[in-house]
Amino acid sequence: MDALSETLRVVRLVGAIFINARFTAPWCYQSPRADTVAPVLEPGAERVVIFHLITDGECYVEMANEPPVRLVAGDAIVFPQGDAHRMTSQPGLPPATGGRLDRVLARRPRQLDYGGGGPATRLVCGYLACDARLAGMLLTGLPPLVRVNVRGSNAGAWLEASVRYALAEARSPRPGGAGVLSKLAEVLFIEVLRLYMNEQSEGRTGWLAGVGDRVVGAALNAMHKNPAHAWSLDELARTASSSRSVLAERFQQLVGSSPMQYLTQWRMLLAANLLSRSNAPLASIAEDVGYQTDTAFSRAFRREYGAPPAAWRRSQTMRVQA
């Protein structure tokens, strides 16, 4: 399994498509920072990422200190850092009364239809909730706004058709519609990341840039495929068909840490995932992530999370129950 697939498996995304909107010009709505609407969208979520898919027409997205970005049908946009933004039929419009996303969500609509009666734009709004540390790793280095056009991908037509169908199903009395929308939100988000990786230009940094790099990507894939292996820099360099110095330099440049530091961080993320999702004994988890003794594992986990594994597991159980 490649590094992106393995990370997405562990990230534990919880997605939903919450608004199917038809706006007629002129229109504008304001979305505050994602962390301010997270309690409404997904209570208890550590991190929420908001996305929009334009299905018909065109519009603009505005962000502070950035020029407006024109969006057309098929464009999907994601706000990796959860920045506040405006969606509007034309730049410079004030948001409509009651047009703040948090206030709209408080009414729990499934369908929105408003505006001035001019040209129509249809868009779908959704979100993904995920673990803050894993999201931080996955999304680090990304710009405030990620935009791709899904109609340029093999999955694009299927995704758009599926979203339309699932939204129609969600309004029907048949059970399961919300579950289908949740899975589609996850698939759409993953497709956006994949398309963005394919479109990356020179000079970008971050974890996704590392995955797309020939040398760093090979090392990441090896560590993610077998995290319990006693990797050394020499062995990782051989796996990546590179020298130690080239691998270390490129890894630091793109990912922001050394390969061995990254391996420790990934092992601890895997351990935290196992601690919070299973009742496996600590010795078993330690072995699964590459530690031969409980003592070494506990020391490494405490450095990363600020608490021993057993105490951290109890705190997570109490947080879920609260």
The single-letter DSSP state of residue 229 is S
Residue whose entry in the numeric block shows the structure tokens 């894939």: 221
Q: Between these two residues, 89 and 2, which has the higher pLDDT value?
A: 89
Q: Which pLDDT does position 109 carry in this prediction?
A: 55
pLDDT more than 70, % of the chain: 89
For range 148-164, the mean pLDDT? 79
Q: Where are the alpha helices (DSSP H) in the chain?
A: 3-11, 34-41, 101-106, 132-139, 156-170, 177-199, 207-212, 214-225, 233-239, 244-255, 259-277, 282-288, 294-305, 309-321
Ranking 100-104, 157-161, 296-300, 317-321 by mean pLDDT, the lowest is 100-104
Most confident of the following: 9-13, 48-52, 173-177: 48-52
Q: Annotate 269-303 with DSSP letters as a single string.
A: HHHHHHHHH----HHHHHHHTT-SSHHHHHHHHHH
User: Roughly how many angstroms between the first and final C-alpha of the chain, as a whole number?
Assistant: 36
Beta partners for residue 56, in sequence order: 122
| Helix (H) / strand (E) containing 206 | none
306: left (phi over 0), alpha (psi -120 to 50) or beta: left
For residue 278, the tally of other CB atoms under 10 A from its CB is 11
Q: What is the mean pLDDT of the chain?
A: 86
Q: Which pLDDT does position 267 carry in this prediction?
A: 96
Ranking 118-122, 192-196, 292-296 by mean pLDDT, the lowest is 192-196
For residue 254, the tally of other CB atoms under 10 A from its CB is 23
pTM of the model: 0.85
For range 215-242, the mean pLDDT? 97
What span, in angstroms and rounded, lies between the C-alpha atoms of 172 and 174? 6
| Burial per residue of 117-153, b for 16 or more beta-carbon CB atoms within 10 angstroms, e otherwise | eeeebbbbbbbbbbbebbbebbbbbbeebbbbbbeeb
C-alpha separations of 151 from 125, 145, 148, 156, 223 in Å: 17, 19, 9, 5, 33
Whether the Cβ atoms of residue 11 and residue 131 lie closer than 8 Å to each other: yes
Q: Which pLDDT does position 270 carry in this prediction?
A: 93
- The upper half-sphere exposure of residue 172, i.e. CA atoms within 13 Å in the direction of its Cβ, equals 10
pLDDT, one tens digit per residue, over 15-44 is 777 788 899 999 998 888 888 877 777 777
For range 70-95, the mean pLDDT? 94
Question: How many residues belong to the chain?
Answer: 322
Beta partners for residue 28, in sequence order: 88
Q: Between these two residues, 61 and 192, which has the higher pLDDT value?
A: 61
Reported as a pLDDT band with limits 50, 70 and 90, residue 75 is very high
Whether the Cβ atoms of residue 231 and residue 241 lie closer than 8 Å to each other: no
Checking if the pLDDT of 158 tops 70, the result is yes
